Structure 1
Amino acid sequence: MLPQAERIKVLSAGIFSLILAVGIARFAYTPLLPIMQQQARLGISAAGWLATFNYAGYLSGALIASQINDLHLKDKLYRTGMVLAVLSTIMMGVSSNLFIWIISRYIAGLSSAAAMLLGTGLILNWLIRHNHRSELGMHFSGLGLGIAGCAAAVAFMSQSLDWREQWFVFSAIGCLVLIPALRWLPAPDSSALTTSGKAMEDNPPSALFLKIFMAAYFCAGVGYVVSATFIVAIVDRLPGLAGKGTLVFFAIGIAAAPARIVWDLVARKVGDLNALLLAAVLQIGGILLPVAVGGLAAAIAGALLFGGTFIGMVSLVLTMAGRYYPTRPAKMMGKMTISYGVAQIIAPAITAWFAAHQGGYASGLYLAAGAMTIGVGLLLMLKIIENRETTQLTTTRQADT
């Protein structure tokens, strides 16, 4: 197989893994949430706790990924995670018991970590090893395709199928997507050299840089999770927008699908940290537009901004982790995602508390925007630290010569 064709096949395995584990197993819940509240009597607070358990599963997966160095073990866990993604989706339809749903959401979180961290790490390792550019724009388009596809599917199926039947349809689609997600990702190569014979060496950041980076990513996790989980329910409750939440969620997916490729190009021009800063500022606008301005146009514009930036931030951070640790990219990815995952456990619970006391989720968007503002400040600090450390390294090298 030609190198470029092989690259596309491997990246396609990643796309399908994200459609399955993050799109179907995770994000089908978001457009189905209002339907489950109407038909399955899912309460507001319970809906928030289901999201919390999903992210608890994701955090557990991140903890596991951060501790594993063996590429072959990562490959086995990735494949197990893809099967669990299908199982967790089936579980949502076979019962209306809240405890079963909690287990399902936790397993879905584990499977999404398998795709986002283990799968992404394996693919990035493969790209570097085979002398391809270490960019994941095409791979992460699976997130946007999964979100948009789930939103479109729910909008279409809701005309004739109830909540349970829709989960079964998603389960069937998941079984089909599972095949390329497993078959098209080759077994990992654990040698210390690329195919051209170049040594693969890690170049970790300083401890201070990593701590602030993790804090900034925590803020990004808060900024992401509220909209990603509750945007359909939020929009449906806004004046004049009843029933428009799924359309807004679809817009998030449409914007997210090509966004990471765009952010790859932006990062090439201005650098990774500058690209992260720009994405964070734009995301604040995307989070606030639906509630601060109101109306369908503002909600869709906010969705496009949010969808076009949250995936850019995730992919940029994970790509940076892979560049720091090319021999074991999932290790730092896991550490970063622990920070991101903790935020995704805390924020839905807080949002659910607001919703229970105020009758809606909109206050959560202000919480998300506030966290993102703090994140922007932390990213600016990283710029200062990076410039200082680069200057010190240059001075040291000049002194050595």
Structure 2
Amino acid sequence: MNTQRERLKVLGAGIFSLILVMGVARFAYTPLLPLMQQQAGLGMAEAGWLAAINYAGYLCGALTASLISDLVLKDRLYRIGMVVAVASTALMGLSNDLTVWAISRFVAGLCSAAGMLLGTGLILNWLIRHNHRSELGIHFTGIGLGIASCALAVALMKPLLDWREQWFAFTALGCLLLIPALRWLPAPDAAALTKTGQKLVDNPPGNAFLRLFMAAYFCAGVGYVVSATFIVAIIERIPGMAGKGTLVFLVIGVGAAPACVVWDLIARRTGELTALIGAAALQIVGILLPVLVPGLVGAVAGALLFGGTFIGMVSLVLTMAGRYYPTKPAKMMGKMTLSYGAAQILAPAITGWLATRLGGYGVGLYLAAGAMALGVVLLVLLRAMERRETAALASA
């Protein structure tokens, strides 16, 4: 019973850390974007660049995570990242200068990597060492809850507070989330054995497999980031949908909250790569529905599908990293996130550039869907490669 209570506390630390770094520090920007454009004079291209700078910070954090093997250092950087995430949120409300916002978004990106990669790696390492399932579904509910709670908070605060005051309100929320995120995660254990004495051995994939996997994850990054960044602004510009953007972003969070647990269960039956293919195919539908089926029904259905798949894909990929590298899962997580993060820098900047020329962000959804279609093809090739390797090992 004590073991289960300890497990739930560790997973709780992860959930609260993800609500903080992914919800408050990172994605509060998305529902606040239309308000900042109306009240603070933020332009369309500038909004795209701020998103790209945020992902540049995330990419730098991912690179750092991929280079660090020391668990004690990872734990220290994770804790620093949690505190700085709150500071970066406060910085958004302290100025309306684009340079200050850019610094805030970059730092928030770094902190997102601390929570998403270092925190997730520490939690996965703890689960493996304590002989629990190396699945991250419950942990990653924090991202969906973060998105949904931020969207709901903006909807509730919009009639009462201006854009600046809302950033300060999110800062106060971040201070509350900081407490369990720091207190409930125990200091890391660097021993080479699990609590029952089993030796932890890494089983890395081949170089060709890893390169193809990173290319597929790059496509997933493009598919994810356009909707995650611009969906509120896209919905607001669809005729008859003014004022519905925050609701759609809330639905994405609602779809995302249970998604990782569901995809964990699917992966147990089908294998991770087959589950990834299914999630990617459904995500294409979710991305395109708001533009193919105009109106609230298409937007809400698309948001549920998108929310229910994008974070499931991230969870499955990072779970696979833990399977390949049980002693240092954040190392492969960082490498995979470099490809995901590169897409998150390029796609918002390209979408913002296209928006200024075509008068809206909607074209970005077609770009995202096309990238996801390529990603499905690459995942099918990966599955075939994995099956050939498994068959070769069985016959050896």
TM-score by length of 2: 1.00
In 2, distance between residues paired with 1:380 and 1:137?
A: 23
User: Which consecutive residues of structure 2, in runs of 5 or more, have no partner in the other structure?
Assistant: none
Q: Alignment partner of 1:202: what SS?
A: coil
Partner of 2:162: 162
Q: Alignment partner of 1:200: what SS?
A: coil
Equivalences for residues 295-306 of structure 1 within 5 A: 295-306=295-306
In 2, distance between residues paired with 1:323 and 1:58?
A: 23
Partner of 1:229: 229
In 1, distance between residues paired with 2:387 and 2:306?
A: 29
Partner of 2:6: 6
Q: Deviations over 1:279-314 (max 9, x none)?
A: 000000000000112111000000000000000000
In 1, distance between residues paired with 2:75 and 2:87?
A: 19
Q: Counterpart amino acid of 1:281? A: A
1:205 pairs with 2:205: yes
Q: CA deviation at 1:395?
A: 1.7
Q: Deviations over 1:133-189 (max 9, x none)?
A: 001111000000000000000000001100000000000000010011001000000
Equivalences for residues 153-192 of structure 1 within 5 A: 153-192=153-192
Q: Report the number of matched residues.
A: 396
Partner of 1:251: 251
Partner of 1:399: none
Partner of 1:52: 52
Q: Alignment partner of 1:92: what SS?
A: helix
In 2, distance between residues paired with 1:383 and 1:284?
A: 19
In 2, distance between residues paired with 1:309 and 1:294?
A: 21
Partner of 2:135: 135
Q: CA deviation at 1:346?
A: 0.2
1:355 pairs with 2:351: no
Q: Counterpart amino acid of 2:364? A: G
In 2, distance between residues paired with 1:137 and 1:384?
A: 26
1:346 pairs with 2:346: yes
Q: CA deviation at 1:393?
A: 1.0
In 1, distance between residues paired with 2:111 and 2:319?
A: 20
Q: Deviations over 1:36-64 (max 9, x none)?
A: 00000000000000000000000000000
Q: Deviations over 1:73-125 (max 9, x none)?
A: 00001011101110110000000000000000000000000011000000000
In 2, distance between residues paired with 1:267 and 1:115?
A: 24
Equivalences for residues 91-106 of structure 1 within 5 A: 91-106=91-106
Q: Deviations over 1:199-230 (max 9, x none)?
A: 00001111111000000000000000000000
Q: Alignment partner of 1:139: what SS?
A: coil
In 2, distance between residues paired with 1:83 and 1:160?
A: 27
Among the aligned pairs, what percent are the same residue? 72
Q: CA deviation at 1:391?
A: 1.1
Partner of 1:311: 311
Partner of 2:276: 276
In 2, distance between residues paired with 1:85 and 1:29?
A: 13
In 2, distance between residues paired with 1:292 and 1:363?
A: 12
1:395 pairs with 2:386: no
Q: Counterpart amino acid of 1:126? A: W
Equivalences for residues 16-95 of structure 1 within 5 A: 16-95=16-95
Q: CA deviation at 1:269?
A: 0.9
Equivalences for residues 275-294 of structure 1 within 5 A: 275-294=275-294
Q: Counterpart amino acid of 1:210? A: L
Q: Alignment partner of 1:124: what SS?
A: helix
Partner of 1:144: 144
Q: Alignment partner of 1:294: what SS?
A: coil
In 2, distance between residues paired with 1:166 and 1:220?
A: 31
CA RMSD, Structure 1 to Structure 2 (Å):
0.6
